Amino acid sequence: MSCWLMSKTLRIMFLCSACVVVALVLFFFSTAALSLHGNFLLTPMEDRVFVIFLYTIAILFILAIVIIFFGMAIFCMLRERASVSGKILWLVFFFFTGPLGSTLYYFAVYRRLARTQHEVEYA
């Protein structure tokens, strides 16, 4: 039986969210490293474009965080085959690491189980 948490649409949504989280974390770290190197002088027009760009990134990041965090937490509680203590450990890890923990869980657990279920259904 197929689970809605492993539907093709949600698998794609979780993958996109995980990729956005990883890309934006790398972007923020690289931007922080560049800003330590020196000051950037922007014209007023460049400054407005940069602010619009940052707001767009922030909105994407917030949506990706919500999707990956709640999706992986629900999957962990309802569908994970681990013991109760293993589930609690993952949920505590989610709580303290936020989107990075959820993204790690996606790549370490969810993706493997979703791929296995997909292969079983279509074999």
C-alpha to C-alpha distance for 122 and 2, rounded to whole angstroms: 11
pTM of the predicted model as reported, rounded to 2 decimal places: 0.78
Q: What is the mean pLDDT of each run of 10 residues along the chain (123 residues)?
A: 74 92 85 67 75 86 92 88 86 88 91 78 62
DSSP 3-state assignment of 93? helix
CA 115 to chain centre: 18
What's the structural domain count of the chain?
A: 1
- Under a CB-based contact definition with an 8 Å cutoff, are residues 64 and 22 in contact? no
Domain span including residue 59: 4-35+43-121
pLDDT of residue 81: 79
pLDDT at position 64 is 92
Which residue in 54, 60, 51, 52 sits closest to 99, CA to CA? 60
Q: How far apart are CA 117 and CA 111, in angstroms?
A: 10
pLDDT for residue 1: 40
